[in-house]
Structure 1
Amino acid sequence: MEQKLGRMEALIAEINQHNYHYYTLDKPTISDGEYDKLYDELVSLEQESGVVLPQSPTQRVGGELLKGFAPHRHRARLWSLDKAQHAEALNAWHQRVAKGVADYNAKHPDEPPLPAPAYVIELKFDGLTLNLTYENGELVQAATRGNGVVGEGILAQVKTIRSVPLTIPYKDGIIEVQGEGIMHLSVLQAYNATAAEPLKNARNAAAGALRNLNPKVTAERKLSAYIYNVGYAEEAEFADHAEMIQFLRDNQFKVNPYLVYSDAIEEVQQELERVALMRAELDFLIDGAVVKVVDMRTREALGYTDKFPRWAVAYKFESEEATTLLKEVGWEVGRTGKITPVAKVEPVELAGVTVQNCTLNNAGDIARKNLTHALGTHVFIRRSNDVIPEILGKADEAEQGEEIAIPATCPSCGTELEQRGAHLFCNNKLACRPQIIGRIVHFASRDAMDIETFSVMTAEQLYEECEVHDPADLYELTYDDLIKLERFGDKKARNLLDAFEASKTRDLASFLFSLGIPNTGKATTRLLANHYRDLDRIMAAEAEELVELPDIGAIVAESITGFFRDPAIRTSIERLRALGVKAEPEQPAAVREDSPFHGKTVVLTGTLSALTRDDAAKRLEALGAKVTGSVSKKTDYVVAGDNAGSKLAKARDLGIEVIENEQEFLRLLGD
């Protein structure tokens, strides 16, 4: 028995260390298979011995249903924060801080003076506040904020959060740390894709899971937690905020990488404006940022009001959620034949924008969100980024409205629709107007065949008046065909014909992208072009060989092979080639091995001013880099230009090196 217990202790220490690297640092140290072997061995030993040690990771799956929450009195009060929602309010708070520092120094001439105010900016997470208690290094209690003095004990629920350590290196008595329990938006999306009852938003999902009496429900939601404060410690003391944060990191707590320090309130305001813009790119909810005085002596000197610390303020952003009336639902046809529901709602102001249209994703989404009878009812909507807002669900589940009719036939061409998973599709590729126009516009787009001066209006006009129903039809157009069209003069007609001719030399990767192969993007088509270097070889490739290529899974492989098996697609390609479209690969440049990018995986995001993304990708590949379209733990660098999106946010979350200075990027390229 003693030998088993010893092995269990060793397994627990090893597994918890791997959990720390995987869930807290986002840097796994072993494969999933190796981890599973260790975990299964521990489970087997616990079953054989009948003993489960307190720090065992097997407790994270959730235990038996609880009867209720026990009250927990915090050792140190959890304060609320005063709020500022504009620059004037923030500056007024800064003036009060500066006055408080000056008054204290004047009244205490014999003490070392407090430094001039300097600030740290943190994200204000939108989840459920957690207070974690550790005694001699072991997690002994977890509680909600409650009224700031007494909260609800939720230890069993918090133990299911894998980024919360069950033990920490700090062994000197009792310590309480505070943080926020959250559900990542990507996790929420994956959960809702299969959930019988989808969750309305990530905040409610996290709060509901942590205050659920069944810890197994908490475990199913795969929550995370960011820790940002030490509220009570019997021995530990800190000179400033940075020292406290390092203490948290040293004790294996998950600390969000975003921390910005400044000693000028003007810079703080500028940074808050930047945070508001990057909010939509994050994989978790924030409803603002928190500005705190850095120096701990100053915090102690400034003290508290009855409700708030005088040394911190919450800068609140505009709400990204609202309630409005669902008026009607229409159905749009995309270039792949996918039928997407688009809802019209009563206009409502949301995050500085007037919202009138919202997405419902697909027909299955309507049923999952219990919106089948929602016309004329009030619904929750969320604008999580700059794209069309999404309807989350009914504001009042008991409210009944008119039925949202799911179409049986295509709203454009009348063809019977096919259900594929949660989506409806029109299979009439050859005679469905929106599909044809969408494919032609995509074919001519900049990243595809790059036909200059081409537009959606041009595609619609050529469809109606010149019977352009396939990309190959573009190359059969003549000057006489174009000159008779409305808004076409001699110069415009000749320019468009010249653009058609110039596009014939576009490289193989661009041509593949122009075809609109389902489930593939520019990174995948470039990969195919670089690997096979021949269109006929790509068209003949089997799924079994495609999945051997990096970043191509079974679904993408089947999409590619199925696409090229379509007789209509093959006929179109044959016509394009007969009309002079070359679709030939670019000649590879000699790969340099002395570059910092050699052998590295790089992701490009945002807009560069000195060169296009395609040019940057080619330059990187010439230096021996692998350029991919998505950020993962295997990514080495993210190059971020202007208006970088969610890839930049994910890179920061994962701790991946980001190159944001374009001049530095050009220098590394060798310019």
Structure 2
Amino acid sequence: MDVMQRMERLVEQLNQYNYHYYTLDQPLISDKEYDALYDQLTALETEAGMALPDSPTNRVGGELLKGFKPHRHLSSLWSLDKAQNEEHLLNWNNRALKLIADYNSKNPDSPLPAPTYVVELKFDGLTLNLTYSDGQLVQAATRGNGTVGEGILAQVKTIKSVPLSIPYRDGTIEVQGEGIMNLSVLAKYNETAVEPLKNARNAAAGALRNLNPRTTAERKLSAFFYNVGYSDGISFADHREMMEFLKDNRFKVNPYVTYFDSFDGVMQELHSISDNRSSLDYLIDGAVIKITDMRTREVLGYTDKFPRWAVAFKFEAEETTTVLESVSWNVGRTGKITPLAKVEAVELAGVTVQNCTLNNAGDIERKNLKFALGSRVFIRRSNDVIPEILGKVTDEQDGEEIIVPEHCPACGFPLEQRGAHLFCNNRLECKPQIVARITHFASRDAMDIETFSEKTAEQLYDEVNVHEPSDLYTLTYEDLIKLERFGEKKANNLLDAIEQSKGRDLASFLFALGIPNTGKSTTKVLAEHFRDLTAVMSATEEELTVLPDIGGIVAESIVSFFADPFMQASIQKMLSLGVEAKAPEKSSAPVTDSFFSGKTVVLTGTLHRLSRDEATERLEALGAKVTGSVSKKTDLVIAGEKAGSKLAKARELGIPVMENEEEWIKLLDGEQN
């Protein structure tokens, strides 16, 4: 095989691997194997003195571009009319129905079909228009004014989900999509960025309009495609057929595309998308509704500005600006000091926002907020999560300084910097730490002491000298009855609940202790593996790191925690007062003949008859492996109400879905009986 043939073969292989990795999210080989093939191709291209047009080595050029050249689109890129509420949407649909009825009355021999609809996400990024000629990507442009945009081919080539060549080679086509930066990618980028990016939309748009393609490549952008705007050699009967064409030609199509025969289904879907938008790993600002039939689209045509066969439904903004008024510093149960920002009240996603999170003191520096008091800042809210400050609107240091404390705001103890976080190490006398530790110890997933609350923990700290969880087991009726709001019944109920908590199992006890960097799943692993508290306390890092999901950092946290004399004494005190920390019951032989045995199952949406934890426990008892994300390896998705992107991805991948709660619970019950 000569050099050119070897190059062609490697280009075909690598593009196939890129397609599976970046578009389908289904890697075929390891990064190491990919890099080895890529290096082989680079060496061959050096030997040949050239690279093939669709070689992956062409994705990032080495030259700084001098400017953007205008590009005239082969077909206009239309804006969409916007519906701000459901009434506007119904008006749009009624107009379309009237136009269809008018046409059919005048053309009884060739009537248009009853309209069906497709609902797609409205991405919040930068519109891309790609031109392919005889299968090769020859141009990429911004939308511009819809007629003329700016050529950004070098920048778009850096997006690895954009195919450099496609199987369709019969002439020229233009394909439209949206360039985006995933929120997880943005967060990772900002961890080490000298200048953090304020939001994903601006990050994508700025990268694609940067004259240095290497800067674009560093942003690791992605793109979704949703339309063939021009073709001189192919046409489509409906939207579904066009989307299949895009997928067949290796374009990344968002799985959240749904079809409806009635407009009532469209309205319900819009509510579902709005409820689940916070679970997406990218920004959307609404949804797009289109009539699916292409002939109907042609008949309905366009106004001066918009197509009559499509409309955009805008959601309430999840991002806005407001004024940063003050920053306070809160102390958590581990001693971590967390800044909390108070902002000028502003409406965001249907909620009045006054408090926003800042992750740590380092976050203030990275987001250019050091001199931001009194200045306008970007904030973002995602569903029920407290809004986050993304950064300052301007780059000027035109506000008052945020003073980062050197001493604990609660107890005055000198603070220690560990990584990006500040810590108060005065855990024996710092009230917020102690109250939070006791509250966590008594919580439902821990020792499950009924009727206990943070207010109770604070009252016991102040008035009965309860300064660590073990002190709970020394409380008497005489201690409680003298407290305000504690009558005879309440005092006895709390003492009974504390007594009952002594019998909690080992996993619950370990979780209650609040070991740093460990959660419920980790403490469950520890309990099931060691089956004895003493064995857990004496485990070495080497013994711990062989367990599932326990890496070096978690192992070090566990060993350090149990090596602490204060913690050892506290645990011994609890054991001496009757806490059992029971070993888990011996699990029965794994089920191998149930409907769920051997299946990888994903739970999504709101469940009603069982909690997520209960459903997981019962599925695992029947031999299922329950995971948090949908992939090609998923065997079954159980979807409750308001299931979002996971359900959409399952449908896209053809994975079986169970949406009837009664049905799958009957299977659980039937297998267990």
**Residues 255-274 of structure 1 mapped to structure 2, 5 A cutoff:** 255-274=253-272
Aligned to 1:85: 84
Secondary structure (helix, strand or coil) at the match of 2:38 reads helix
Residue 587 of structure 1 aligns to which amino acid in structure 2? K
Instruction: Report SS of the residue matched to 1:129.
Output: strand
| 2:23 paired residue number | 24
Aligned counterpart in structure 1 of residue 148 of structure 2, from 139, 147, 150: 150
- Equivalence for 1:400: 398
Pairwise mapping of residues 211-226 of structure 1 onto structure 2 (< 5 A)? 211-226=209-224
Tell me the number of residue pairs that the alignment of Structure 1 and Structure 2 aligns.
669
The CA distance in 2 between the partners of 1:379 and 1:46, in whole Å, is 49
Q: Counterpart of 1:462? A: 460
8 Å contact kept, 1:26–1:654 = no
Mean alpha-carbon deviation: is it higher for 154-163 or for 45-54? 45-54
Give the distance between the partners of 2:363 and 2:176, measured in 1 at CA.
36
Structure 2 gaps of 5+ residues are: none
Aligned AA (2:594) = S
* Contact 1:345–1:356 (8 Å) recurs in 2: yes
State the distance in 1 between where 2:514 and 2:497 align.
20
Give me the whole-angstrom Cα distance separating, in 2, the residues matched to 1:658 and 1:478.
53
Write the distance in 1 (CA, Å) between the matches of 2:333 and 2:656.
Answer: 37
Three-state SS of the structure 2 residue aligned to 1:388 is: strand
Contact 1:206 1:223 in 2 (8 A): yes
Return closer, same or farther for 1:492/1:646 CA change in 2, 3 Å cut-off. Answer: farther
TM-score (norm. length: structure 2): 0.95
**Where does 1:106-145 land on structure 2 (aligned, <5 Å)?**
106-111=105-110, 113-145=111-143
Structure 1: segments with no counterpart, 5+ residues: none
Aligned-residue sequence identity (percent) comes to 71
* Cα deviation digits, residues 139-188 of structure 1 (max 9, x gap): 11111111111111111111111111111111111111111000000111
Do the aligned residues in 2 keep the contact of 1:133 with 1:174 (CA within 8 Å)?
yes
AA aligned to 1:558 is E
User: What's the counterpart of residue 449 of structure 2?
Assistant: 451
Cα displacement (A) at 1:448: 1.3
Q: CA deviation at 1:667?
A: 3.6
The alignment partner of 1:447 has SS state of: coil
* Distance in 2, Cα, partners of 1:606 & 1:507: 29
> What residue is the counterpart of 1:4 in the other structure?
3
**Which residue identity is paired with 1:269?**
M
Distance of 2:640 and 2:570 partners within structure 1: 37
- 1:536-590 residue CA offsets vs partner (Å, 9 max, x unmatched): 2222222233222232222222222222222222222222222222222133133
Q: Does 1:518 align with 2:516?
A: yes
Cα distance in 2 for residues equivalent to 1:192 and 1:209: 14
Q: What residue in structure 1 maps to residue 75 of structure 2?
A: 76
Aligned residue in 2 for 1:304: 302
**C-alpha distance in 1 between matches for 2:293 and 2:143:** 25
Letter in 2 for 1:84: A
Shift of the 267–630 alpha-carbon distance from structure 1 to 2, 3 Å rule, reads closer
- In terms of mean alpha carbon deviation, does 269-278 or 21-30 score higher? 269-278
Letter in 1 for 2:212: N
Out of 412, 426, 441, the residue aligned to residue 410 of structure 2 is 412
The amino acid that maps onto 2:351 is: V
* Contact persistence 1:604–1:639 (CA under 8 A): yes
Q: Alpha-carbon deviation of 1:596?
A: 4.3
Q: Distance in 1 between matches of 2:222 and 2:624?
A: 33
Question: What is the distance in 1 between the residues matched to 2:569 and 2:650?
Answer: 42
Q: How does 1:464-543 map onto structure 2 within 5 Å?
A: 464-543=462-541
Work out whether residues 319 and 379 of structure 2, in 8 Å CA contact, stay in contact via their aligned partners in 1. Answer: yes
1:40 aligns with 2:24: no
- Indicate if the aligned counterparts of 1:83 and 1:314 stay in contact, CA closer than 8 A: yes
Match of 2:208? 210
- Cα distance 1:55–1:631, how it changes in 2: closer, same or farther (>3 A)? same
Note the C-alpha offset of 1:395.
1.5
CA distance in 1, matches of 2:405, 2:193: 24
1:437 maps onto 2:431 in alignment: no
Is the aligned partner of 1:387 residue 2:385?
yes
2:287 and 2:236 map into 1 onto residues whose CA distance is: 23
Q: Distance in 1 between matches of 2:323 and 2:653?
A: 39
Q: CA deviation at 1:606?
A: 5.5
What is the identity, as a one-letter code, of the residue corresponding to 1:285? L
Q: How far apart are 1:399 and its partner, in Å? A: 5.1
Confirm or deny that 1:171 pairs with 2:169: yes
What is the Cα deviation at residue 390 of structure 1? Answer: 1.1
The Cα of 1:643 is off from its aligned counterpart by 6.6
Match for residue 569 of structure 2 among 567, 571, 577: 571
Q: Which amino acid aligns with 1:566?
A: D
The aligned residue for residue 64 of structure 2 is 65
TM-score (normalised: structure 1) = 0.95
* Contact residue 280 and residue 386 of structure 1 kept, 8 A: no
Change (3 A) 1:61 1:550: farther
Q: CA 1:603–1:424 in structure 2 vs 1: closer, same or farther (change >3 Å)?
A: farther
The equivalent residue for 2:282 is 284
Shift in Å, 1:4: 2.1
Q: Which piece of structure 1 moves more, 191-200 or 477-486? A: 477-486
Maintained 8 Å contact 1:281/1:649? no
Q: CA deviation at 1:634?
A: 6.1
**Distance (whole Å) between structure 1 residues aligned to residue 323 and residue 19 of structure 2:** 45
Partner Cα separation in structure 2 for residue 661 and residue 528 of structure 1: 35
Deviations 1:54-81 (A, max 9, x none): 1111222443211111111111111000
| 1:326 corresponds to 2:324 | yes
State whether residues 337 and 423 of structure 2, in contact with CA within 8 Å, keep that contact through their aligned partners in structure 1. yes
In structure 2, distance between residues paired with 1:455 and 1:104: 67
Is residue 413–residue 432 contact of structure 1 (8 Å, CA) maintained in 2? yes
The AA in structure 1 aligned to 2:57 is T
> Counterpart of 2:554 in structure 1: which amino acid?
V
Maintained 8 Å contact 2:329/2:337: yes
Q: Is the CA contact 2:272–2:644 (under 8 Å) kept in the aligned structure 1?
A: no
Farther off after superposition, 433-442 or 306-315: 433-442
Is the contact made by 2:118 and 2:290 (CA closer than 8 Å) also made in structure 1?
yes
2:82 match: secondary structure:
strand
CA contact (8 A) 1:374 1:403 kept: yes
Within 2, Cα distance between the matches of 1:66 and 1:397?
26
Aligned residue for 1:80, secondary structure, equals coil
SS of 1:492 mapped into structure 2 = helix
2:130 maps to amino acid: L
Q: Structure 1 residues 412-421 or 221-230, which shifts more?
A: 412-421
Relative to structure 2, which stretch is displaced further, 484-493 or 514-523?
A: 514-523
Alignment match, 1:105: 104
Which amino acid in structure 1 is aligned with residue 622 of structure 2?
L
Give the CA deviation at 1:639: 4.2
Describe the SS at the equivalent of 1:288: strand
CA distance in 2, matches of 1:635, 1:340: 38
Whole-angstrom CA distance in 1 between matches of 2:522 and 2:154: 44
Change (3 A) 1:348 1:20: same
After the TM superposition, which of the residue ranges 437-446 and 219-228 deviates more from structure 2?
437-446
CA distances 1:34-93 after superposition (whole Å, capped 9, x unpaired): 222212222232233332221111222443211111111111111000010111100100
How far apart in 2 are the matches of 1:517 and 1:278?
A: 32
Q: Residues 654 and 281 (structure 1 numbering): CA distance in 2 closer, same or farther, change over 3 Å?
A: farther
Corresponding residue of 2:293:
295
1:161 paired to 2:159: yes
C-alpha distance in structure 2 between counterparts of 1:322 and 1:10, whole Å: 50
- Report the alpha carbon displacement of residue 129 of structure 1 after superposing the two structures with TM: 0.3
Q: Distance in 2 between matches of 1:651 and 1:440?
A: 42
Query: What whole-Å deviation, never above 9, does each CA across 1:232-261 have from its counterpart, x for those lacking one?
Result: 112221111111111111111111111122
Partner Cα separation in structure 1 for residue 499 and residue 83 of structure 2 = 59
Larger mean CA deviation between 67-76 and 652-661 belongs to 652-661
Counterpart-to-counterpart distance in 2, 1:574 and 1:645: 47
1:535 shift after superposition: 2.2
Q: CA 1:393 to 1:462, structure 2 compared with 1: closer, same or farther past 3 Å?
A: same
Letter in 1 for 2:67: G
- 2:212 counterpart of 1:240: no
Contact 1:379 1:391 in 2 (8 A): yes
